[in-house]
């Protein structure tokens, strides 16, 4: 190793050199002691010929990734509706059968809405984890990391960074935790820092709501959401390159990977893996979101007499608080409600939609919220709001995970600070370019 | 140096080689995949390509009749078509790697056929729940579902041919 280093090789080159020599020696020994009757292929070899193909490998991977997202979001949609209907019914029953108005409002709007806004995301989250568990257990995910390595390397990231980043599309928490598989500390730190830019499932309801309002749903709204996802990926690439050339100088380390044999995933192991990942979301994020929704409800209805039980929102505590922080967001054309939604969204991104629901008096009823929001956002300010929601810090649970994984308060604060700064910069650029193009 | 920075060591299946694989040989020659099978695979590939192009074109033309206007769905169909057609190209020269490509194409046909069937069920559930105004089985049956059904005989034939090949 010292000879290699003295020749001016980087750490990554040295590792590759060591690995190369190791496999040369293995090949030499094997050729001397093992006599093969005939070189024959297994099914694993056959599938690898396709999945690791130099031309078709990446398109096939992207196709399977698209299938995962379709399964996650489209297949789980009716189950989300069922949960919405159930909690809507529960809230109505509670409101009708409780005489005390304040307790009825607490149970109906606070508890049922709060619990409903958490559990409504269980189907997509569990669907995503189920699909990822199938890919992982079958042995394909290791191949995906392999075919993506070349691309990741150009981005200044390690091949193993790919899986944590992909997990980030479901939830940033397991994505950040998955960086444990990256041996190089620099590669791992970069992956942790850019992981929050992968748009997690919790942000999707915000995009769906806002794009539905400003673009009227359909293809235009879908394209806007797709643009936000692409924006997140583009920013992750840019930030990874910046970090690689400034704070974490050097090349990504060599990618040595042993590909497991393909196996048919068993239902039991897949369900266990799904539950192991899903319960974390359910227990941690669930408790936080539920608690926040109760707090938001309280601030929305208090003082009880002045707000007439939450009817006159402008006189509530939350309105007073929102107007204090509104000036920060006013340059982007966002009102105090947006400021409050973003503030509480720091605790959990789903809360942005839930907060709008409570503020606009529609509970979680999407149509009522959409109608009210139509007068709040223009296409430009709405798109900037979506971009800000994507970037401006992950939820508090993800921040706690960053702290736990980096074991450093300094890097945790840095992650939050750079994301907030980036969110303001990107939102300002969007608004600025929009104004130059003549949008209001 | 290694090919770029990657070193892949395929484990598993290496130690237990020695069984008689009837069809697949090291010299890249296979003992004949019937002409009918090759034509069938070529037809599947061509149909995937045609439907993929139509789905993409429909997005830009604003058309949406029987074949959906689906940009990404169309691209996926083109990927499946490429896999089939690459397999047919190799199989024409009796190269066993053609069977590998064919397996890949069949695998993708099954994955997306099942996926679209599940999405059709989800659409039906949305209709039952009152979230969508209408549901038509005919309109929901995407070409990829028909092609998945059409691929089943070829998948069965390939599976039988490779059943002695270990994992």
Total structural domains within chain A: 1
Instruction: Identify whether A12 is part of a domain.
Output: no
Asked if residue A78 has pLDDT above 50, the reply is yes
Contact A153 B5 (CB under 8 A): yes
Instruction: Identify whether A409 is part of a domain.
Output: yes
d(CA B105, CA B160): 16
Closest residue by Cα to residue A67 from B103, B84, B73: B73
Check residues A106 and B20 and name the one with the higher pLDDT: A106
Q: Measured between CA atoms, how close is A255 to chain B, in angstroms?
A: 6
pLDDT number for residue A37: 61
Asked if residue B25 has pLDDT above 50, the reply is no
Residue A75 with chain B: CB contacts under 8 Å: 118-119, 122
Asked if residue A47 has pLDDT above 80, the reply is yes
Query: Which residue is listed with tokens 């921040």?
Result: A399
* B8 membership: H or E segment, kind and range: strand B6-10
CB-count burial class (<10 Å; 0-12, 13-18, 19+) for A24: exposed
Instruction: Identify whether A28 is part of a domain.
Output: no
Query: Which residue is listed with tokens 């939820």?
Result: A395
Contact B2 A150 (CB under 8 A): no
Task: Please state which of the ranges A3-7, A161-165, A338-342, B114-118 shows the lowest mean pLDDT.
Answer: A3-7
Per-residue pLDDT tens for A347-379? 777 778 777 766 765 544 556 666 667 777 888
What is the three-class DSSP state of B112? helix
Which residue in the set A40, A43, A76 is minimally distant from B167, CB to CB?
A43
Asked if residue B128 has pLDDT above 60, the reply is yes
Reported as a pLDDT band with limits 50, 70 and 90, residue A254 is low
In the predicted model, what is the mean pLDDT of chain A?
79
Contact A41 B21 (CB under 8 A): yes
Contact B7 A40 (CB under 8 A): no
For testing contact with chain A, the best of B1, B3, B7, B103 (most A CBs within 10 A): B7
Dump the DSSP string for A328-350: HHGGGT--HHHHHHHHHHTT-TH
d(CA A229, CA A434): 19
pLDDT number for residue A66: 81
Look up the domain containing A112 and give its range: 57-255+268-436
Residue B26 with chain A: CB contacts under 8 Å: 38-41
For testing contact with chain A, the best of B6, B11, B91, B115 (most A CBs within 10 A): B6
Residues pairing with A204 in the sheet: none
pLDDT number for residue B16: 37
Q: Measured between CA atoms, how close is B104 to chain A, in angstroms?
A: 6
* Residue B14 CB contacts under 8 Å (≥ 6 apart), including other chains: none
Reported as a pLDDT band with limits 50, 70 and 90, residue B85 is very high
Residue A20 with chain B: CB contacts under 8 Å: 1-2, 7
In this prediction the pTM is: 0.71
Instruction: Identify whether A34 is part of a domain.
Output: no
Contact A16 B5 (CB under 8 A): yes
d(CA A74, CA A438): 36
Asked if residue B20 has pLDDT above 50, the reply is no
Rounded average pLDDT over A144-164: 77
Closest residue by Cα to residue A418 from A244, A245, A235: A235
Instruction: Identify whether A30 is part of a domain.
Output: no
pLDDT number for residue A13: 66
Instruction: Identify whether A213 is part of a domain.
Output: yes
d(CA B87, CA B103): 9
For testing contact with chain B, the best of A63, A262, A264 (most B CBs within 10 A): A63
* A255 membership: H or E segment, kind and range: strand A255-259
For testing contact with chain B, the best of A70, A150, A223 (most B CBs within 10 A): A70
Interface of A with B in 28-47 (CB under 8 A): 36-47
Q: How many CA atoms lie less than 13 Å away from A20 in the CB half-sphere?
A: 15
Per-residue pLDDT tens for B41-80? 899 999 999 999 998 888 777 777 778 888 888 999 999 9
Asked if residue A7 has pLDDT above 60, the reply is no
Per-residue pLDDT tens for A270-288? 899 888 877 776 776 567 7
Residues pairing with B95 in the sheet: B29
Residue B131 with chain A: CB contacts under 8 Å: 78, 81
Contact status of A74 with chain B (Cβ, < 8 Å)? yes
Asked if residue A403 has pLDDT above 50, the reply is yes
Residue B166 with chain A: CB contacts under 8 Å: 42-43
Query: Which residue is listed with tokens 């409903």?
Result: A116
Measured CA to CA in angstroms, residue B29 lies from A40, A440, B22, B98 at distances of: 11, 66, 11, 10
Reported as a pLDDT band with limits 50, 70 and 90, residue A45 is confident
Give the number of beta-carbon pairs within 8 Å between A and B. 153
Interface of B with A in 64-93 (CB under 8 A): 72, 75-76, 79-80, 82-83, 86
Contact B11 A159 (CB under 8 A): no
Interface of A with B in 216-245 (CB under 8 A): 219
Instruction: Identify whether A334 is part of a domain.
Output: yes
Residue A262 with chain B: CB contacts under 8 Å: 167
Contact status of A151 with chain B (Cβ, < 8 Å)? no
pLDDT number for residue A343: 84
CB-count burial class (<10 Å; 0-12, 13-18, 19+) for A97: exposed
Contact A20 B80 (CB under 8 A): no
Quick check: A166 and A65 in contact, CB under 8 A? yes
């Amino acid at each position: 190793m010292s000879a290699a280093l003295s020749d001016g090789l980087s750490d990554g080159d040295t590792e590759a050199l060591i690995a190369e020599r190791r496999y040369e020696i293995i090949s030499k020994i094997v050729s001397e002691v093992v006599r093969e009757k005939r070189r024959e292929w297994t099914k694993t070899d056959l599938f690898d010929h396709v999945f690791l193909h130099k031309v078709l490998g990446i398109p096939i991977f992207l196709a399977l990734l698209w299938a995962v997202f379709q399964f996650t979001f489209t297949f789980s949609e009716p189950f989300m509706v069922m949960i919405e209907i159930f909690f809507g019914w529960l809230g109505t029953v509670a409101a009708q059968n409780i005489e005390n108005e304040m307790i009825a409002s607490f149970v109906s709007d606070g508890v049922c809405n709060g619990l409903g806004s958490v559990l409504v995301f269980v189907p997509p989250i569990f669907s995503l984890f189920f699909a990822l568990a199938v890919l992982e257990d079958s042995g394909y995910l290791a191949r995906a990391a392999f075919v993506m390595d070349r691309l990741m390397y150009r981005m200044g990231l390690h091949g193993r960074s790919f899986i944590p980043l992909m997990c980030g599309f479901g939830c940033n928490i397991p994505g950040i935790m998955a960086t444990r598989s990256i041996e190089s500390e620099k590669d791992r730190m970069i992956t942790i820092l850019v992981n929050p830019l992968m748009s997690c499932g919790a942000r999707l309801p915000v995009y769906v709501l806002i794009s539905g309002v400003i673009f009227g749903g359909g293809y235009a709204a879908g394209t806007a959401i797709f643009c936000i996802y692409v924006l997140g990926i583009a920013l992750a690439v840019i930030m990874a390159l910046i970090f690689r050339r400034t704070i974490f100088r050097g090349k990504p380390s060599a990618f040595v990977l042993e590909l497991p044999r393909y196996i048919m995933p068993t239902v039991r192991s897949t369900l266990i893996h799904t539950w192991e990942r899903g319960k974390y979301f359910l227990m941690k994020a669930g408790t936080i979101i539920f608690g926040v929704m109760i707090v938001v409800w309280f601030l929305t209805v208090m003082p009880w007499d002045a707000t007439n039980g939450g009817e006159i929102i402008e006189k509530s505590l939350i309105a007073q608080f929102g107007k204090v922080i509104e000036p920060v967001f006013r340059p982007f054309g966002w009102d105090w409600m947006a400021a409050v939604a973003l503030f509480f969204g720091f605790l959990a991104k789903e809360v942005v939609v839930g907060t709008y629901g409570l503020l606009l008096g529609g509970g979680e009823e999407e149509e009522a919220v959409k109608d009210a929001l139509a007068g709040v956002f223009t296409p430009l300010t709405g798109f900037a709001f979506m971009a800000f929601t994507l970037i401006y810090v992950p939820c508090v649970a993800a921040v706690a995970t960053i702290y736990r994984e980096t074991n450093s308060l300094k890097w945790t604060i840095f992650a939050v600070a750079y994301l907030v700064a980036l969110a303001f910069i990107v939102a300002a650029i969007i608004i600025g370019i929009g104004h130059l193009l003549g949008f209001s | 140096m290694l090919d770029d920075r990657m070193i892949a060591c395929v484990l598993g299946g290496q130690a237990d080689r020695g069984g008689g694989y009837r069809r697949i040989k090291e010299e890249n020659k296979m003992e004949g995949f019937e002409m009918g099978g090759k034509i069938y695979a070529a037809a599947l590939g061509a149909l995937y390509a045609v439907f993929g192009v139509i789905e993409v074109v429909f997005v830009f033309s604003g058309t949406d009749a029987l074949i959906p206007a689906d940009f990404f769905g169309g691209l996926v169909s083109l990927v499946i078509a490429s896999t089939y057609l690459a397999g047919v190209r190799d199989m024409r020269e009796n190269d066993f790697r053609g069977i590998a490509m064919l397996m890949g194409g069949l695998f993708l046909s099954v994955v997306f056929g099942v996926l679209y069937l599940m999405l059709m069920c989800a659409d039906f559930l949305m209709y039952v729940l009152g979230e969508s105004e209408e549901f038509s089985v005919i309109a929901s049956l995407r070409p990829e579902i028909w092609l998945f059904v059409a691929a089943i005989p070829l998948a069965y034939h390939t599976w039988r041919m490779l059943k002695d090949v270990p994992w």
